[in-house]
Structure 1
Amino acid sequence: MRIVIAGGHGQIALRLERLLAAREHEVAGIIRKPEQAADLREAGAEAVVLDLETASPEEAAAALEGADAAVFAAGAGPGSTTERKDTVDRGAAVLFADAAVRAGVRRYVIVSSLGADPHHEGDEIFDHYLRAKGAADAYVLAKQGLDTTVLRPGMLTNDAGTGLVNLAASTGRGPVPRDDVAATLAELVESPATAGLTLELISGAVPVADAVRNAASAA
């Protein structure tokens, strides 16, 4: 499979690129800064320089030409403004989904957040983030022409992954290593039976591959 990842230089994305390349997929990561390209090549991925905040629909679709799957793992990041929560966490996800349909890419996996909700209340920056993520999730799930899975990890850590997770429609709050998020994404990309699902992810006791199969069969 050819898999294109938005936010290709992110901490989860770089882990995912290594995993997918090791599985002999053809991987490309979309980045804003050309100087990040070397890190992607080291991870086994092709670097595509494109700013999804300012890209046209045509430019975004061109980046997805020939792909079999798209993963949206971009984010405005800590310390960003409420405006960028909207332009990146919502707007770029919407653009990427529209571009996937335009390019004929059906499989779409989006990295969201535990608690994401377009109707979330509050005025803090994190509240804006949860609303933006929730709005993006709702849009891509409803988008005709996409087979979308939404993954909502709990509190991200840089602990070494265990390969053991709790993946379900509702998990409750908890931490999860970025290693295990990437491993779960790698399984989800290859598991179209999870299309249409919104899945929460925290550390648990079930091997990742089994957790993905269980989630699909429980739907």
Structure 2
Amino acid sequence: MTSLTAVEAALRSLFPPEVAVAAERTRAPDIAALWPEERQAIDGAVPHRLAEFAAGRTAARRVLAALGHAPVALPMGPDRAALWPGGVSGAIAHDADLAVAVGRRGAPLGVDLEPDAPLEETLWPIICAPDELGLLRGDPARLVRRVFCAKEAVFKAQDPAHRALFGFEAVAVTLVEGGFNAQFRADVGCFRVGQVLTGRLTVVGSTVLAGVAW
């Protein structure tokens, strides 16, 4: 099992130095760690969802502490993203094993994680347009998973005042050495058609991490 120290080191490699990072192990739900406003968002959730949510909020409060911010509740917004305190941009991601959080005082940023495992072929055309699939070189089952991870990180890197829901087709991702370029195919939220965001990708243990910072 990859250590949390190694995961946090990998996270730091994705972002500028002013970004604080934290990783927590997803385990049995620690409901006591949640604030009342947070518990309301997951009332009735199944145990594994509670565990992921609690670990993510714990990681996020560690990020706030590293930024010199007092601990606060991070309730869930209409699009299910955490609502960070004013002046702080942040993002959370989790799976069955890990929860990670990143944050800074400044422009939006996004993070995501995925298992470094093949993705079933029936999902490829949902995540990637034909031109994106045509650019993949190597094991497409794993590379499509990385494109998915990159697109999720891009989705999270939105200005809270202009957040919008959009699908995989709204952005084209090209994988490059150590990262990716994401070009918007449409105007969505704070993004404009043709705009390109550059992100980074890394693999630590059996986990793919993607990060985007404006």
Choose between structure 1 and 2 for higher RCO, CA contacts under 8 A separated by at least 6 residues.
Answer: 2
- Check whether TM > 0.5: no
More helix by share: 1
- Larger gyration radius, structure 1 or structure 2: 2
TM-score bracket relative to the smaller structure:
0.3 to 0.5
- TM-score by length of structure 2 reads 0.34
- TM-score by length of structure 1 reads 0.34
